[in-house]
Amino acid sequence: MTSRRFRFIPFTIAQDLTAWPEYAAQCVSGDESDCGEKSGWKGHPDGVEKWMKEHTRQTLHLRYRRLFADYAEFDAPEDFDPSKVIRGETIEHSRALDAPRPALALERARATP
């Protein structure tokens, strides 16, 4: 029987500074169902707040769900050699939860008995 050993490579996750974050809001005012009006994605929170104030002025709706989105990317350690990663291998979710963090990529190697 073959056993497998997984080695984790310590990646870090960082915001992708080449892409601007985005902000939005959705009106969730309403008694039986939410209003549902959306601001659309804005490049700055001020644009969202301006939309919320205008929507409140028009409707007297007072409750909003605010959203934030950005892009993130993995930064590999300087000594990371992608040729040593065996692609296509994944680990079971339950095993992933046991993994030390940060640890998001893996290399599989046959274990020596």
Query: Which residues of the shown chain bind Zn ion in the complex (CB under 5 A)?
Result: 27, 29, 35, 37, 59, 61
**Structure-token pair, residue 72:** 């993130």
Given the complex with Zn ion, which of 18 and 33 has the nearer CB atom? 33
Give the phi and the psi of residue 53 in degrees, each rounded to 5: -60, -40
Encoded amino acid at 16, one letter = D
Tell the smallest beta-carbon distance from residue 35 to Zn ion (Å): 3
Tell the smallest beta-carbon distance from residue 60 to Zn ion (Å): 9
The answer to whether 48 and 24 are in contact (CB under 8 A) is yes
Tell the smallest beta-carbon distance from residue 69 to Zn ion (Å): 21
* Size (the chain), residues: 113
Given the complex with Zn ion, which of 29 and 105 has the nearer CB atom? 29
The answer to whether 99 and 2 are in contact (CB under 8 A) is no
**Structure-token pair, residue 107:** 């290399």
Given the complex with Zn ion, which of 34 and 73 has the nearer CB atom? 34
Tell the smallest beta-carbon distance from residue 56 to Zn ion (Å): 8
Given the complex with Zn ion, which of 67 and 103 has the nearer CB atom? 67
